[in-house]
Structure 1
């Protein structure tokens, strides 16, 4: 934790969907070390026996890292909840500089077996949630001198190996990416940058460890995504890009990734083709 004068995000305010655990929380903690103010919209008011952490433990962790945090209990599918989070950020911290679309639903079931209600859930949280939160933040991002949108979604590949196994999930994540690339073009003249960030490897969140046997040893820790996000927030302006976490860190001069775990035998994440 640096001094206030050396913190690169001092005075900056982030609004995020989700964030009570996993990658979202890692991003908020990394931003807090640089002095950021944080408002995040999440549902976990009470402990979940399957997953660690609530909005309350997340606030404590963010503030312990050096930032200021307010949790808004709500659902990104509910426009009123989203607006309440945005209004809270403006009323508490005076504006919004960064919007992070982090909330996401995952279901890798094939078309015949996937219930329609699960299809709807993924589109509502992933694609629609990205639209609703970004739309609510944009008027305030325009007033910032460094407005940014960051969406946790993948580069788009039309290769059958990515389109075929789980079209419904792929559609929802590609929808997040297409919206974000669209925002980059739509709001370029307003000074708002918009990018996507995705991990090279699977990430050792509780959800992934519960879902994939042996994932912990082959995955990097969520902190790599936190550090990559902060590098985007604080580095040279870029917009309209689909970025991979370790490429972002390499561009920032970070080449030793050993502290994030895994190693040369890491498990690649979905939508990321092997490096040739």
Structure 2
């Protein structure tokens, strides 16, 4: 399968991993709805929905830039309706929008807690709910959420309880929706990076890892491999990017390597057995 003529609705697609996924789909000639907040240039963040749209068109796809705050139910429903009006449907939903604050409990203001819950868990649920009627009419419908495997060890919670709850809330949507939609033929999966990825979030929140982070292209290639599989054959899975690509026959990951040449740093939430295998490699 390819994504030629397919329509993807990607939240947070103005930069980073969301944009990388959009550009990979565009190479097939896909339609991409860019659902993100940044319409005007941001002093600290590269890219807007308009620069993303231009890049997607240049890559061979068709783009629909939409100003969307995934916390706003009316805005999400309107963006979904405009996407369907423009492209005729939705084949793939990518829940990429996310907020991060790696702070302990005393340092996490409740407005920051609420922001992460509203964007991460609630936003994923809302976008999935809004897109579902259109996904049900697609030939090979997929929901792909960028969230981690459900590994409930205390070590993942203790340093930043609020953020972990919010990210695992996205994963719980995958767990529940995969089973809820199984009979409807809508695949619901999660994808998470084995290593940190060089994005604005990493550069701003964990700058010490920026030089040891892989290119967002690895997540884009893994996402492409998942959403081009038959939906009824792959659902309820929590994928790791490198494992997806190894299953596709990829053995050389140097094209995604950090520019610094450093060994990529492990990301958060990687299960112990996967982390141990990576350290031995």
TM-score band by shorter chain is over 0.9
Distance 2:175 2:262 in 1: 31
Match of 1:3? none
Q: How does 1:3-22 map to 2 (within 5 A)?
A: 8-22=2-16
Match of 2:245? 249
Match of 1:129? 123
Q: Residues 187-206 of structure 1: CA distance to partner in whole angstroms, max 9, x if unpaired?
A: 11101000000000000112
Q: Residues 75-110 of structure 1: CA distance to partner in whole angstroms, max 9, x if unpaired?
A: 000011101111111101101111110000000111
Residue 264 of structure 1 deviates from its aligned partner by 7.3
8 Å CA contact 1:153–1:177 kept in 2: the answer is: yes
Residue 214 of structure 1 deviates from its aligned partner by 3.6
The worse-fitting range, judged by mean Cα deviation, of 215-224 and 133-142 is: 215-224
Match of 1:275? 276
Q: Residues 208-257 of structure 1: CA distance to partner in whole angstroms, max 9, x if unpaired?
A: 12332342321100010111100111135411000000111111111111
Q: Of the candidates 22, 26, 48, which is equivalent to residue 28 of structure 1? A: 22
Q: Of the candidates 28, 52, 66, which is equivalent to residue 72 of structure 1? A: 66
Q: Which aligned runs of 4 or more in structure 1 are off by greater than 3 angstroms? A: none
Q: How does 1:73-92 map to 2 (within 5 A)?
A: 73-92=67-86
Match of 2:172? 178
The CA RMSD over aligned residues, in Å, is 1.3
Q: Of the candidates 225, 233, 237, which is equivalent to residue 231 of structure 1? A: 225
8 Å CA contact 1:162–1:170 kept in 2: the answer is: yes
Residue 163 of structure 1 deviates from its aligned partner by 1.7
Q: Of the candidates 248, 251, 258, which is equivalent to residue 254 of structure 2? A: 258
Distance 1:74 1:186 in 2: 26
Residue 207 of structure 1 deviates from its aligned partner by 2.5
8 Å CA contact 1:39–1:88 kept in 2: the answer is: no
Q: Confirm or deny that 1:62 pairs with 2:63.
A: no
Distance 1:134 1:193 in 2: 12
Q: How does 1:25-174 map to 2 (within 5 A)?
A: 25-174=19-168
What secondary structure does 2:69 align onto?
coil
User: Which runs of 5 or more structure 2 residues have no equivalent in the other structure?
Assistant: none
- Aligned pairs, how many? 270
Match of 1:4? none
Residue 124 of structure 1 deviates from its aligned partner by 0.2
8 Å CA contact 2:14–2:52 kept in 1: the answer is: yes
The worse-fitting range, judged by mean Cα deviation, of 98-107 and 7-16 is: 7-16
